[in-house]
Structure formats: C-alpha cells, structure tokens
Amino acid sequence: MMNDAILSQLAQVLEERKQAAPDSSYVAKLYGKGLDAILKKIGEEATETVMAAKDGDKEKIVYEVADLWFHSLVLLAQQNLHPHDVLKELERRFGLSGLAEKASRPS
C-alpha cells in the first residue's frame, strides 16, 4: 500500500470518526475537543519531528513525521478537505521553481 490509497483509506476512517461518540476513539475525542485541540496536537507533533531530526535518529524521524501527517489528516477532515486536495496542490507545484511558485501565490 505504498501509494495514495492509504491516504484515501485514512480519510474515509477519519470521516467516519466525525460521527462517532467522543469516547469511542482517539480521533472522535479529538474532534469533540474542537479545532484548537487539533491544532495544538499538530504543533506538538511538529516540535517532536524537529527534535527527532536534531537528534539525527532516522527511525524516530519517520515515527514523528507519521504522527504529524496523521494529525494533519485529522485537520483536513475536520475542515471538510481531503488528502487529494493537498496532492493536487503538490502536483500543481511539481516542476515549478520554488521561487516562481512563491511569486505566483496570492498576497
């Protein structure tokens, strides 16, 4: 499952958890706490990713990036977005110079 199929599967589960009782799963509980709790978790995971990278521990970096991506997917679902929205944006940027892409952004 080394393609975007896992993203679609995760997105489906995250959508289902939006309707679940907060005490039924970690994600349902996170949704129940609201946007601020989701954003706080993303911040924590981003910090842990930075710390793992500073330590140079490749296994820990992968683990922390997985946590960061997962919580970012929770945010996308909470905002009624899908991972494919992000993949489309990455596809749009592919082949563009970073400087050209940045200059093309709305101010």
Q: Is 63 exposed, middle or buried (0-12, 13-18, 19+ CB in 10 A)?
A: middle
Q: Supply the angle between the helices 5-18 and 26-33 in degrees, to the nearest 10.
A: 60
Q: Is 74 exposed, middle or buried (0-12, 13-18, 19+ CB in 10 A)?
A: buried
Separation of alpha carbons 49 and 59, rounded Å: 11
Predicted local distance difference test score (pLDDT) of residue 60: 98
Separation of alpha carbons 23 and 30, rounded Å: 10
Predicted local distance difference test score (pLDDT) of residue 2: 53
Ordered per-residue pLDDT tens for the chain, 107 residues: 456 789 999 999 999 999 999 999 999 999 999 999 999 999 999 999 999 999 999 999 999 999 999 999 999 999 999 999 999 999 988 887 766 656 776 76
Separation of alpha carbons 59 and 63, rounded Å: 6
